[in-house]
């Protein structure tokens, strides 16, 4: 049985009529850039995230960048984040003129290790960006305590955590701002590029709205130097349709993860993901660990089972950030998991037979002595 890593077409087919009707409404009204469709999605998404405000932007990278700029992050400032994330997290810091500073991750959750956070703070530190990796939120209480103690901003990188929860609070609602990507493969994905910033700080939201639209307080009157980071009406209308289904789709992902966990339990040579006690994981990715990852992926591919590798090289080891002078070995957990994690097929429309096929392939591979324990 063929098992794709991701299947966007099946999801699209299931809601095709609603999508076409929504896009037709935009075409008929010609509200292509900003406008009522974006405003409607912003209101609905703020309610979903349990924040007062949501600001639609062009993509998730712009969301992080504009949030930092609006908080006053600039040249010479330091922003702490983790090295096991997509480079956009660090790029947003760099494009503010600030310097990314990394702390290693917890080996169980793969999220920021709060115990290492305070040791990375210097007089130049201005903000912290915890990344809610793979769909599970970071341990936010200690992060927020440390931020409050040192008067630092917290910007949640929630680009993989649409609807994830920590102690009953939704991703994006705990820090000063939360940033989301709606790249097509996300739990809530557009049909192109889009992103959003959520916050309960109305003054911050107002500033971000100016900045995403060339600094305009009204047309042709510019209160600040901004940027063109508007969300377009077509993407907003599509996201509004898909937002109605997001709770159901997230629950399906959680069911798939439970099935993976049950079948793979006790399998030597792999480590399955762990849902923290205080969290509600929404499994943007279901990533297992194996020290012989590449061989596992190749073996499964021969059976038409398709997996993926996310973030095979931590940011501090990337050529783009060589100027930071950070050597291999400085963040051992991030470096280890970068060579061991493999993302298994995960999407709402995944079927039990598909999951069983994937698990049988993994268990057979492990039983044949091809794997060794992490």
User: Among 156-160, 168-172, 219-223, 347-351, whose mean pLDDT is lowest?
Assistant: 219-223
CA 194 to chain centre: 13
pLDDT at 165 exceeding the cut of 70: yes
Phi-psi region of 76 (alpha: psi -120 to 50; beta: other; left: phi over 0): left
Please report, for the chain, the start and end positions of each structural domain, with discontinuous segments joined by +: 8-104+111-243, 246-367
Q: Determine the pLDDT at residue 368.
A: 85
Q: What is the pLDDT of residues 83-134, one digit of tens each?
A: 999 999 999 999 999 999 999 999 999 999 999 999 999 999 999 999 999 9
Q: What confidence tier does 34 reach under pLDDT thresholds 50, 70, 90?
A: confident
For helices 60-70 and 202-212, the axis angle rounded to 10 degrees is 120
User: Which pLDDT score, from 0 to 100, does residue 372 have?
Assistant: 46
Q: Model confidence over 273-307: pLDDT tens digits? A: 999 999 999 999 999 999 999 999 999 999 999 99
Asked if 64 and 129 count as a contact pair (C-beta separation under 8 A), the reply is: yes
Contact 176, 201 (CB under 8 A): yes
Span 311-328, average pLDDT: 96
Place of tokens 């991703």: 171
Considering only the top CATH level, what class is 8-104+111-243? alpha beta
Q: Provide, rounded to the nearest whole percent, the portion of the chain with pLDDT above 70.
A: 98
Find the mean pLDDT for residues 303-326. Answer: 97
Beta-carbon contacts of 156 under 8 Å, excluding residues fewer than 6 positions away, are 129, 130, 132, 140, 171, 172, 174, 175, 177, 178, 179
Please report, rounded to a whole number, the percentage of residues in the chain having pLDDT higher than 90.
96
CA distances from residue 165 to 44, 49, 240, 278, 288 in whole angstroms, order as listed: 18, 10, 21, 8, 21
Cα dist. 287→260, 326, 346 in Å? 11, 26, 9
The pLDDT tens digits of the residues spanning 235-272 come to: 999 999 999 999 999 999 999 999 999 999 999 999 99
CATH of 246-367, one of 3.40.190.10, 3.40.250.10, 3.90.1150.10, 3.40.50.300: 3.90.1150.10
**Contacts of residue 8, Cβ cutoff 8 Å, sequence gap at least 6:** 184, 185, 189, 347
Q: Do domains 8-104+111-243 and 246-367 have the same CATH topology?
A: no
């Amino acid at each position: 049985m063929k098992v794709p890593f991701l299947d966007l077409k099946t999801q699209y087919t299931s809601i095709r009529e609603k999508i076409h009707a929504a896009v037709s409404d935009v075409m008929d009204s010609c509200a292509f850039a900003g406008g009522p469709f974006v405003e409607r999605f912003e209101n609905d998404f703020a309610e979903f995230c349990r924040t007062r405000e949501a600001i639609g932007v062009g993509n998730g990278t712009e969301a992080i960048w504009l949030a930092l700029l609006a908080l006053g992050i600039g040249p010479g400032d330091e922003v702490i984040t983790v090295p096991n994330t997509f480079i956009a997290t660090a790029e947003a810091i760099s494009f503010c003129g600030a310097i990314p500073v990394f702390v290693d991750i917890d080996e169980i959750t793969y999220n920021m290790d709060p115990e290492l956070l305070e040791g990375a703070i210097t007089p130049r530190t201005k903000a912290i960006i915890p990344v809610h990796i793979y769909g599970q939120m970071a341990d936010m209480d200690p992060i927020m305590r440390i931020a409050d103690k040192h008067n630092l901003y917290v910007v949640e990188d929630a680009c993989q955590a649409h609807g994830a929860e920590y102690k009953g609070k939704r991703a994006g609602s705990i820090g000063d701002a939360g940033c989301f990507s709606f790249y097509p493969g996300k739990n809530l994905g557009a049909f192109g590029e889009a992103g959003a910033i959520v916050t309960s700080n109305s003054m911050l939201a107002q500033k971000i709205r100016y900045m995403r639209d060339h600094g305009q307080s009204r047309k042709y009157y510019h209160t600040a130097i901004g940027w063109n980071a508007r969300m377009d009406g077509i993407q907003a209308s599509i996201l509004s349709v898909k937002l109605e289904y997001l709770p159901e789709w997230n629950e399906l992902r959680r069911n798939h993860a439970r099935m993976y966990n049950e079948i793979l339990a006790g399998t030597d040579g792999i480590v399955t993901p762990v849902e923290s006690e205080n969290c509600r994981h929404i499994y943007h990715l279901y990533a297992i660990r194996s020290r012989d990852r590449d061989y596992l992926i190749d073996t499964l591919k021969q059976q038409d089972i398709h997996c993926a590798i996310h973030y095979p090289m931590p940011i501090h080891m990337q050529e783009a950030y060589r100027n930071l002078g950070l050597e291999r070995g400085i963040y051992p957990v991030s470096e280890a998991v970068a060579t061991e994690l493999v993302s298994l097929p995960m999407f709402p429309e995944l079927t039990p037979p598909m999951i069983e096929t994937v698990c049988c392939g993994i268990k057979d591979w492990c039983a044949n002595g091809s794997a060794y324990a992490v």
